[in-house]
Structure 1
Amino acid sequence: MRNPPRPHLTASDDTRGLATVMHAAFFLLLGASVARFLLRHPGEPRTPWVIALSIALALLYVLGPAVGATRTLPATAPPTPLRRRLWLGLVVATWVVLVVLAPSFAWCAVPLFFTALRTLPPRAAVVLVALLTVFVVAAQLRLSTAFDPNLLVAPPAVAALATAVFVHMERQAQEQRALIDDLIRTRRELAATERREGTLAERQRLSMEIHDTLAQHLSSQQMLLQAADRTWESDPGTARAHVRTATDITARGLAEARRLVHDLAPPELENGAGLAEALRALDAGPGIEVRFHLEGAPVPLPDRAESALLRIAQGALANVREHAGARTAALTLSFLGDQVVLDIADDGAGFAETRSASGRGHGLPAMRARVRQLGGTLTIESTPGEGTVLSAVIPLEPTR
């Protein structure tokens, strides 16, 4: 059993995961800053203001996604820029006041960097991150009792890292969205092309089936009924025989029509009858003797190959009956190890090769199409006054 596909993490999934981490970090840092302030500055006049501003900042941060203040990747129907900027301005202003009252709240700036990058356009977000970084450096210097170079280097380094990570992930998400769009468009175009090709192939198959079966049966019926009409008064017995033969052909044509509707195998191949038996039973019409020869040891053939060879034989005999004026036709089915060959020869009038190339009707092109679909070849040799030999060669294993 095939294992189900493993879930694939996209760049937007990574961004959502990073957003969750940043949200959790913001509240942890905010809570730690409040606890640090209460432990070190209990009972001071600014304490109620710090607590109130901390609660206000937490509420603003929570209400941000609810009012559509932040965008997610991939971007879908972004809210109005004014609402986003207003929300971010309130968050930053509240945080700035907190940092002025208690510089230890500057540690909350890192999640705010990410929030700014998710809320504003890239250039505006970079400018805001730079201003927040300057403010963080100033707050850290206020807390320090002595000059520390790390206070000047660490905040800009963290801000640059956060910006680089977000910009990289956003670009990766955009590229992935473009790739997915291209794949979806290509898949739709491929599906449309396959549908068109399938429709054309089915039309060609049906046209060949109708030509090789129903059209040939109708042609035979017409010839027989015309012959019966000419001999009806002078030779009633012969006329009735023609009518009975036409009736039999009509029954076979009806069976062919039903087969086309149900897309079944040719009726001559049903009930376990092999290709050799079906070819042996073919008839070219009144006045034409059909002989069948089998060479080599028969091997099982694919259904498509048997059906194609039978249809080619039927089409070739129809051409013999209608155009060749022949008295005999010979069918030879040869199994030659790696291929099967069907030869149809007649002693009729023949024709020039230029006529064969130009194509008088649908019969020869249909035969070539059938053989080509099975990876085989169809050759025709004919000389005026010396008959025609048609040879269909089909490999027993399909070629690539």
Structure 2
Amino acid sequence: MRGNTWSAIDTEAADDDARRLATVMHVAFFVLLCSSLARFLMRHPGAPATPWVVALALALALLYVLGPVLGPKEDLAPRDPTAASRLWLAAVIGTWLTLVVLAPSFGWCAVPLFYTGLRSLRTRSAILLVSLITVFVVAAQVQLRLRFGFDPNLLFAPPAVAAVATAVFIHSQRQAVRLRAVITDLVRTRRELAATERREGALAERQRLSMEIHDTLAQGLSSQQMLFQAADRLWAGDPETARRHVRSAASIAEHNLAEARRFVHDLAPADLAGGGSLGDALRALAARETTDTLRIRFHQDSAPAAPLPDRIQSALLRIAQGALANVREHADATTAALTLTHLDDQVVLDIADNGRGFVPTERTGDGVRGHGLPAIRARVRGLGGTLTIESTPGEGTVLTAAIPLEPVP
């Protein structure tokens, strides 16, 4: 839309320039026509041709006034002349030629007529017409002044004026064509860029939604599945523990339901709804994810000096959910710890476990399956932060996400 607006503004500006030039030429034509008629009447009072000259001058003025209706459009863009435009131009040129034969002083009207011919015809035809008009003017002036002796100006001045006028107009016309081509290319490029941005935005939104679903609903369903499997194994021998697993699964299902409803509204984490703090949300997450086989603790080093932006709180909560999902599904850990640290210029979230560990270069490259670590890395990168993974096989894993509190340029 913006590209279309700029194109319209540029085109209108070019058309305005063309209309101003046309106005100057129209005024010049009528000034020269009136001055030529006045000169004839002053120099040849009572001449037999006077009625014809006056009538033809009025006819020429009337024909010229009809130009906006029958003549070419007031712009510099080359156009194919219409039949009405050709007929109008022929009538104007024919009337003017007759006037010049009767009164050579009307030859001064040739310059505005150059412009009229150049606007009305294609370049080659217009140049031919300008040449014909120039020859006619020179012949008429030379014939009139032969009795006073040869004057080189009468022979060379009209062609020079015609050449300059034609060159200036053709140059302006070609510049206008180039400008329109540039505007067209610019508008097309803007449209392509806008389409590309829309596609990239749609892909980014799809990736964001996939991460949101992975970090919430998918993890909740995975936890429920593990709890139900544990309850099924223990139901006969330890029904009380089995019921506890079922209750935990029901709690997770309730939380997932809240998350699903939140997706419908604004995709904000349910734990942060109602103005809850990130520390409270992480504490609730640790309690909810704690099971008989995995104990999760939460610790907050210090309180924030100011409330964290919603975007950072939401991202850190999702990172914690994704990291705990990896601990639960892959680490075979018995304990995990969430540590939230508020510094002057950044907030740091550590997720540590005592699981089996791994070699980070083997698990964080292009060959990673699933959405866990890639989703976490994408969230951290989107906030201008850094993600550090320290792990050794058999010695557990520490994942650290550091998010700057000031926007990164």
TM-score, normalised by the number of residues in structure 2 = 0.88
Identity of aligned residues (%): 68
1:216 pairs, out of 212, 216, 219, with 219
Distance in 1, Cα, partners of 2:78 & 2:175: 17
Distance in 2, Cα, partners of 1:356 & 1:160: 74
- The C-alpha deviation readout for 1:108-165, integer Å capped at 9, x for no partner, is 1111011111112223322322232232233333444634444334323332332232
Distance in 2, Cα, partners of 1:277 & 1:399: 27
Residue matched to 2:91? 90
2:180 pairs with 1:174: no
Residue matched to 2:148? 146
2:373 pairs with 1:367: no
Counterpart residue identity of residue 407, structure 2: P
Residue matched to 1:117? 118
Distance in 1, Cα, partners of 2:252 & 2:58: 95
2:314 pairs with 1:307: yes
Moved more, 125-134 or 254-263: 125-134
Residue matched to 1:99? 100
Counterpart residue identity of residue 322, structure 2: G
The offset of 1:39, in angstroms, is 4.0
Distance in 1, Cα, partners of 2:275 & 2:377: 27
Counterpart residue identity of residue 285, structure 1: T
Distance in 2, Cα, partners of 1:394 & 1:112: 73
Gaps of 5+ in 2: 1-5
Moved more, 45-54 or 248-257: 45-54
2:291 pairs, out of 286, 292, 299, with 286
Gaps of 5+ in 1: none
Query: Residues 352 and 397 of structure 2 are in contact (CA less than 8 Å); yes or no, is this contact kept in structure 1?
Result: yes
Q: CA-atom RMSD, angstroms?
A: 2.5
Query: Residues 30 and 54 of structure 1 are in contact (CA less than 8 Å); yes or no, is this contact kept in structure 2?
Result: yes
Distance in 1, Cα, partners of 2:282 & 2:52: 103
- The C-alpha deviation readout for 1:46-89, integer Å capped at 9, x for no partner, is 2232233223322332334423x424435386444x55444323
Q: Secondary structure of the residue that 2:337 maps to in structure 1?
A: strand
Number of positions where the alignment pairs a residue of Structure 1 with one of Structure 2: 393
Counterpart residue identity of residue 280, structure 2: E
2:265 pairs, out of 262, 265, 268, with 262
Distance in 2, Cα, partners of 1:349 & 1:388: 8
Moved more, 199-208 or 371-380: 371-380
2:343 pairs with 1:336: yes
Q: Secondary structure of the residue that 1:141 maps to in structure 2?
A: helix
Distance in 1, Cα, partners of 2:80 & 2:229: 80
The offset of 1:264, in angstroms, is 4.2
Query: Residues 80 and 121 of structure 2 are in contact (CA less than 8 Å); yes or no, is this contact kept in structure 1?
Result: no
Distance 1:91-1:252 versus aligned 2 partners, 3 A rule: same
The offset of 1:218, in angstroms, is 1.0
Distance 1:160-1:74 versus aligned 2 partners, 3 A rule: closer
Moved more, 22-31 or 365-374: 22-31
Query: Residues 103 and 142 of structure 1 are in contact (CA less than 8 Å); yes or no, is this contact kept in structure 2?
Result: no
Q: Secondary structure of the residue that 1:345 maps to in structure 2?
A: strand
Superposition pairs for residues 1-400 of structure 1, below 5 Å?
10-67=13-70, 69-73=71-75, 75=77, 78-80=80-82, 83-144=84-145, 146-147=148-149, 148-283=151-286, 284-287=289-292, 288-296=294-302, 298-299=304-305, 300-353=307-360, 354-357=362-365, 358-400=367-409
The offset of 1:179, in angstroms, is 1.4
Distance 1:20-1:334 versus aligned 2 partners, 3 A rule: same
TM-score, normalised by the number of residues in structure 1 = 0.89
Distance in 1, Cα, partners of 2:76 & 2:272: 59
Distance in 1, Cα, partners of 2:317 & 2:90: 83
Distance in 1, Cα, partners of 2:200 & 2:379: 16
